[in-house]
Amino acid sequence: MAEHKRTITSISWNPQNQDIFATASTDCRLVVWNVAEQKIVAHLHNIKSPPCCIGWNPHETDEIAYIYGRGPLFIWNYCPPGGGAVSKHLESTSFYSIVCLFRWHPKKIGKLAFGHVDGSISVITPGQKPCKHYLKPESVIEVDEEDPVTCLEWDPLSVDYLLVSNVTNGIRLIDSEAMSVVTSFNLPSAATKVHSVAWIPSAPGMFLTGGKF
């Protein structure tokens, strides 16, 4: 990681190649690493602002996306035939709230979910009208405050369900097609803050949370 000169903001492993991962940093650089060969594969220097989140396209081995601010999402093809080209994801524009993170859908090609600082989520599905800034937590709709999205995880048992956590509001299971809340999970106390969520591979339908109590 010595290639970066400042704080690393995001790390992502290539889902199709276990030896490849990418990192982003506040030095406005994106670097692709090869663990087996212990070397840098590629690096991108001309990023205007530090990416808040990066993620590999699960259906394209050599494409990694990054985003900062209100978008758009940028897609970097770091290998030939892309030859290091960077393109904009045209539908991921016109967000009015800063993006905290995004997640590619592992099964539906091109589908994306975005979490925002104001607590809302956006879902983009190829061939459909984008759903932007839906499902802001009820606790912040009528007041002037924000409840940022801290985690997004697609349900491995469903092609439509998305697990969403917010700092204060807790965790909700969202139907990304109907854009509705399927289930809300109550936190142990009002002081509990959720910062991460992960599905348990060996226990279908169960997940773990990490946060501050």
Residue 213 has pLDDT above 70, yes or no: no
For the segment 3-57, what is each residue's pLDDT rounded down to a tens digit?
Answer: 677 788 899 999 999 899 999 999 889 999 999 988 999 989 889 999 999 999 9
How is the chain split into domains, by residue range?
1-90, 121-213
> Around 27, how many Cα atoms within 13 Å sit in the side-chain half-sphere?
15
Return the percentage of the chain with pLDDT > 70, whole number.
89
Instruction: Tell me: pLDDT of 82 over 60.
Output: no
pTM of structure: 0.90
44 Cβ contact list (under 8 Å, min separation 6): 29, 30, 31, 76, 78, 84, 86
Alpha-carbon span 149 to 141, nearest angstrom? 14
Is the per-residue pLDDT at 99 higher than 70? yes
**pLDDT score of 192:** 67
